Amino acid sequence: MRVALVSLNQVWENKSENLQAFRTYVQRAKAQGAELVIFPEMTLTAFSMNISNTAEDRGSSASVESFKGLACEHQIAILFGVVYVDGNKATNNAVLIDSSGAVKACYRKIHPFAFAGEDKAFNGGGEIISVQLGDMKIGLTICYDLRFPEIYSALGNQCDLIVNIANWPARRVNHWNVLLKARAIENQVFMVGVNRTGVDGNGLEYQKSSQVINPNGDLQTPLFSQDEMDLFEIAPSFISQFRQSFSTRQDRKPAFYKSIL
């Protein structure tokens, strides 16, 4: 599967301007033969806790409708982030739309970052989500989730590839790099991390760090790179071959881990 990762410098809380930029990247990804294009967390707003300005109704989201149109127009699957109203708070979501414009999956971020007050604006989810796309089973996670290996262990039991879309600040990018590699090695899956760049409305700095890591923990080299987009080939056959040559998953003891946590 050819996958395009877009690490754009998102414009703060400006859905229309971000959508125009992403429209260009969808066109470019399709021209390079991508089957799936992945954008950072809270794609059209960047990570903001100003939910009165960012949150949309789950049943009538203008952002989702825009991405449905792009998917249909260019016959490409799109994974993006969007904020939904949830009572007096909101949820932080990753939505996967297939090449026909159908919503295939919606994952609600399980772990709001309480240290930064995210839990005051966002309700956490309570369900892991994976979806079949072409010949790959894909698991969905968002940013801070990366620090919690248990959900990756669960997704690793059913997925070939796990994606994390993020707004992960540069001052902790070493954690990002290490944790993505660890999750790939632990679960013998491909890990894809898609992070933004630039400076956000809170003055936090980001650096280009989107990447694909194979089940052996090796950083994949892009087939093509231009501006903030990188194109990768992800081969599901590599996973089965690697697990046959060096398998660790059968030695897990989930009942025991549950008893000590």
Model pLDDT, residue 220: 98
- The residue among 49, 84, 43 whose CA lies nearest residue 66 is 43
Strands (E), 134-248: 136-142, 161-166, 190-195, 198-199, 205-206, 211-213, 224-226, 229-233
Per-residue pLDDT for 249 more than 90?
Answer: no
H/E stretch holding 180 reads helix 173-187
Please provide the DSSP assignment of 214-225 as one string: -TTSPBPPPSEE
Instruction: List pLDDT tens digits, range 124-160.
Output: 999 999 999 999 999 999 999 999 999 999 999 999 9
pTM confidence score? 0.97
Give the three-class secondary structure for 25.
helix
Q: Is 129 left (phi over 0), alpha (psi -120 to 50) or beta?
A: beta
- The percentage of residues in the chain with a pLDDT greater than 90, rounded to a whole number, is 98
**pLDDT tens sequence across 210-244:** 999 999 999 999 999 999 999 999 999 999 999 99
User: What pLDDT, on a 0 to 100 scale, did the predictor assign at position 142?
Assistant: 98
Mean pLDDT calculated for residue range 13-34: 97
- The answer to whether 166 and 155 are in contact (CB under 8 A) is no
From residue 125, alpha-carbon distances to 94, 103, 110, 119, 259 in Å are 11, 18, 4, 11, 23
Taken in order of first residue, the domains within the chain and their CATH numbers are 2-260 (3.60.110.10)
pLDDT digits (tens, 9 = 90+) for 47-93: 999 999 999 999 999 999 999 999 999 999 999 999 999 999 999 99
How would you label 12-28 residue by residue, b for 16+ Cβ within 10 Å and e otherwise? bbebeebbebbbebbeb
Structure tokens, 196: 């933004």
